[in-house]
Structure 1
Amino acid sequence: MSRRPFILADRAGGRGPPVIRRPQRAHCDREVAVSRFMLTAVPFTGHVAPLCAVAAALVARGHEVRFYSGSAFRGRIEETGSTFVPWNAAPDFDENDLASSFPRLVGKKGVGQLLINVVDVFIRTAPAQVSDLMAEWERVPWDAIVGDEVSVGAVFFAERTGCPRGTFAVLPLNMVGPGGPPSGLGIAPGRNALTKARDAALRAAVPLLSRPLRAPLAAARAAVGLPPSPRTFDQVVFSPRLVVASGSPLLDYARDDRPASVHFVGAVQQLPTRPPSLPDWWGELDDRTVVHVTQGTQNIDPEDLIRPALEALGKSDVLVVVATGMPGRDVLPFAVPSNARVAGFLPYAELLPRVDVVVTNGGWGGVLAALSHGIPLVIAGGDLDKPEVAARVAWAGAGVNLRTGTPSAAAVGRAVGRIREDPTFRDAAARVGADLRGRGGAPRAAELFETLPAE
């Protein structure tokens, strides 16, 4: 039996944003009644893919799921059994060409890129996201909304309507707590009086560090009819009710100050729905030491990491398998050594069981996938959340942090050599992998999100 949807009603006197009246539920003798979910993800592959796995798990459990994201992901979303809802009023941007939609990003990297990403891509698109969501809601309401941690439009929608909201953290958990430093700085929590004092000072500085976000957040709230709020960006985006986080406490510095609303569910990956297409050279992976090199799907200039990795490993006794990060881009703009093979995308379910070391720019989803297979990593994390990912993996002992997004060939070579020679890296990766695999993944996430409409 389906739950009856919420009823949208005006505030008394017709003033202010609409609110929700929850109807009385009919009796249901099923353990979990059918619910209507809206999932939202900013249209980046690393955000959409794990939420697609959650969507598929919810559908498999009998729920009705709609999924709001960019048109490039329509096919992937519909394969989960979800109904695709496109960014319409919101700018339907191309993740591989962000500057076309957000020109302030031209030439930006590092902190400058991060701030503009947050302001232009996440915050300033939020009013248009709310417009899209309200239009779909007025067509057919839903019982709960789940967004990734940068879907600001989902936050504003839930605040306007009172719809139950959960957060699915597709990135390293960037939640300021009462202990440790703010996430995102690539700094491990302090263990002595001096470093703990440093952490406290950094936490106190969060309002100041987030000052450039205040005016854009206030403007976006006003644009959708919400009152001013003193909350910082990280306080806005995480649901106080339920945060389901990809990853493991072993990749969260084993912090003990996370609220009870946070649940880690390991690596959340969408399983392929059809047999993958494998390149002609796939059989060459047999009985070889394989090093996989990837720069993910953003900041994919191959000069940053792929070229130095190939220079470092071109004369070694390994087979180097490179993913360029763009479908169809199976060649590089420079000559590659004879022991290298190149493809745009590669099926990780088939590739990773054959890989010995991963050299990566630190995309969270790829890192979790590698660690789930017990593979140690060399991470060149230069932008956005990548330095934080690199720091967490190094803290867990499962890889080497190169501390730059543009390493030298010599640095890459030394790091790969360390991992191949020192078994403690593989041992640590195996420990993290076992924990990731034991946390339930997408089915556990779906089970947790089922509690949202029930309260």
Structure 2
Amino acid sequence: MRILFSATPAYGHVLPLGSLMRAAVEAGHAVALATSAGARDTVGPELPEEVEFLAAGVMPMEFSLDAASRTGADPFHPGPELIGEIFGGSRVALGGAETISLAREWAPDLIVAEIFDAIGPMVAAALSIPWYQVGFGPATPAVITEIERVAASRYRDAGLTRAEPLAYLDPCPPQLQDPDWSNRVPVLPLRTQAHRRPRDLAFELPAFTNPARPTVLVTLGTIFSDPQVLETTVAALAGLEVNVIATVGSSLKDPNADGPRPGARTDGVEVGYVPFVPLGQLLDRADLVVGAGGAGTVLGALAHGLPLVLWPQGADQPINAARAAAAGVAITIERADEITSAVRRILEEDTFRDRAKAAAAENDARLSPADTVKEITEGALG
């Protein structure tokens, strides 16, 4: 079968599809990814080399600014209405037709689209083929409804009508999901796997002087990786008997620029700063996570049975953090001066870790990516 994955051109939207792409390749299917050309250099190395790129459309900054210019809204503090215009309006207008053209040539049998992606459903409608939708965190129905509403007008302009997906693939643990949430289509629980590259990563993680100390992974993700917030977060761990691995994300573009260096010390705490490294590899070394609350970080940590301290910075992070706190697997904070006590509490109280391990056990019982690919391909054949 020929499976076309479709995603917004950003790490947090493409990488949650990575395990399914890998499973599809291993099952012998032809696999392609429809996303903007500008994402090829960044996400390409994170995916199986067999994945073809159908490069169309523009990058997030361009379609976000386009939506903001049409609505007059602030693109850096978007509400549901602007998010709808960004993903359902501008991104579709600036890449939908080109993607359909490329997809006709590639001739997929099935589309798999992440939940913020409105182009995949458009391609499915244009080619009259089935599709599945993939979530990557707790459901945000108000936001998704706006994306679908705005996209519907773009579809009508193209003479198309969006069909419902055959199912929604849900990687979110029930502990984090809104108990009142329901979906219009069948829900298939999907096992979360923290991102790993399909090929070996030649990168040596920090070796600490005292490896017996708990290791704290500090990661703000790939978008909200403000260097000042990162340094403030790391500094707040001073005085605790821990080792720290901190990801610089996009906060240190030039490796020769001034900034945090590997092997640094902050008031006696050893800190190993690392560039972008697949999350799964980092979580293998961690005992707890301090982060901003991105869905990939939260779900990946729980898949490893690790509790979290979350300081939301934007986007869907406040929702993810609130759900994680309600599930008892995380402490959510609002200020940097709350970090120290939150980390100390998680290290000292077993309850957080016990609940995180329960989430990991529930995740392990879900359909693996390989079983999911088998299920969706058989479902597409009817």
Q: Give the SS at the match of 2:172.
A: coil
Q: Which is worse superposed, 418-427 or 331-340? A: 331-340
Whether the 8 Å contact between 1:155 and 1:165 is mirrored in structure 2 is yes
**Aligned-partner Cα distance in 1 for 2:359–2:170:** 15
**Aligned-partner Cα distance in 2 for 1:254–1:107:** 31
Whether the 8 Å contact between 2:134 and 2:168 is mirrored in structure 1 is yes
Q: Choose the corresponding residue for 2:40, options 69, 73, 77.
A: 73
Q: Which amino acid aligns with 2:239?
A: K
Whether the 8 Å contact between 1:172 and 1:389 is mirrored in structure 2 is yes
Q: Which amino acid aligns with 1:79?
A: P
Counterpart mapping for 1:10-89 below 5 A: 35-71=1-37, 72-73=39-40, 75-76=44-45, 79-87=48-56
CA offsets, 1:11-64, max 9 Å, x none? xxxxxxxxxxxxxxxxxxxxxxxx111111111101111212211111211211
Q: Which is worse superposed, 218-227 or 336-345? A: 218-227
> Using a 3 Å threshold, how does the CA distance of structure 1 residues 329 and 290 change in structure 2: closer, same or farther?
farther
User: If you compute each CA radius of gyration, which structure gives the higher value, 1 or 2?
Assistant: 1
Q: Report the RMSD for the aligned CA atoms in angstroms.
A: 3.1
CA drift of 1:365 comes to: 1.1
Counterpart mapping for 1:410-425 below 5 A: 410-425=337-352
Q: TM-score, normalised by structure 1?
A: 0.72
Whether the 8 Å contact between 1:126 and 1:153 is mirrored in structure 2 is yes
CA drift of 1:321 comes to: 1.4
> Using a 3 Å threshold, how does the CA distance of structure 1 residues 69 and 430 change in structure 2: closer, same or farther?
same
Q: Choose the corresponding residue for 2:241, options 313, 317, 320.
A: 317
Q: Which amino acid aligns with 2:237?
A: L
**Aligned-partner Cα distance in 1 for 2:25–2:351:** 41
Aligned twin of 1:375:
306
CA drift of 1:129 comes to: 3.1
CA offsets, 1:119-169, max 9 Å, x none? 234421213433223222332422111111111111222223321111111
**Aligned-partner Cα distance in 1 for 2:10–2:179:** 28
1:148 to 2:114 alignment:
yes
Q: Give the SS at the match of 2:54.
A: strand
1:437 to 2:364 alignment:
yes
Aligned twin of 1:137:
103
**Aligned-partner Cα distance in 2 for 1:213–1:240:** 13
CA offsets, 1:265-289, max 9 Å, x none? 1213443333323347335472221
Aligned twin of 1:119:
85
> Using a 3 Å threshold, how does the CA distance of structure 1 residues 454 and 135 change in structure 2: closer, same or farther?
same
Aligned twin of 1:13:
none
CA drift of 1:399 comes to: 0.7
Identity of aligned residues (%): 24
Q: Choose the corresponding residue for 2:139, options 165, 173, 177.
A: 173
Whether the 8 Å contact between 1:328 and 1:344 is mirrored in structure 2 is no
**Aligned-partner Cα distance in 1 for 2:32–2:214:** 43
CA offsets, 1:76-95, max 9 Å, x none? 366252222112xx11x2x6
Q: Which amino acid aligns with 1:301?
A: D
Counterpart mapping for 1:344-423 below 5 A: 344-402=275-333, 404=334, 407-408=335-336, 410-423=337-350
> Using a 3 Å threshold, how does the CA distance of structure 1 residues 299 and 348 change in structure 2: closer, same or farther?
closer
Q: Give the SS at the match of 2:122.
A: helix
CA drift of 1:364 comes to: 0.9
Q: Give the SS at the match of 1:436.
A: helix
Whether the 8 Å contact between 1:323 and 1:344 is mirrored in structure 2 is yes
Aligned twin of 1:224:
158
Aligned twin of 1:273:
198
5+ residue gaps in structure 2?
A: none
**Aligned-partner Cα distance in 1 for 2:209–2:254:** 20
CA drift of 1:427 comes to: 0.5
CA drift of 1:221 comes to: 2.7
Paired residues, what number?
A: 368
**Aligned-partner Cα distance in 2 for 1:316–1:270:** 29
**Aligned-partner Cα distance in 2 for 1:443–1:77:** 18
Q: Which amino acid aligns with 1:391?
A: A
5+ residue gaps in structure 1?
A: 1-34, 176-181, 185-205, 228-235
> Using a 3 Å threshold, how does the CA distance of structure 1 residues 277 and 328 change in structure 2: closer, same or farther?
farther
Q: Which amino acid aligns with 1:141?
A: A
> Using a 3 Å threshold, how does the CA distance of structure 1 residues 68 and 213 change in structure 2: closer, same or farther?
closer
1:450 to 2:368 alignment:
no
Q: Which amino acid aligns with 2:155?
A: R
Q: Give the SS at the match of 2:85.
A: helix
Whether the 8 Å contact between 1:253 and 1:395 is mirrored in structure 2 is no
Q: Choose the corresponding residue for 1:261, options 171, 186, 189.
A: 186
Aligned twin of 1:427:
354
Q: TM-score, normalised by structure 2?
A: 0.84
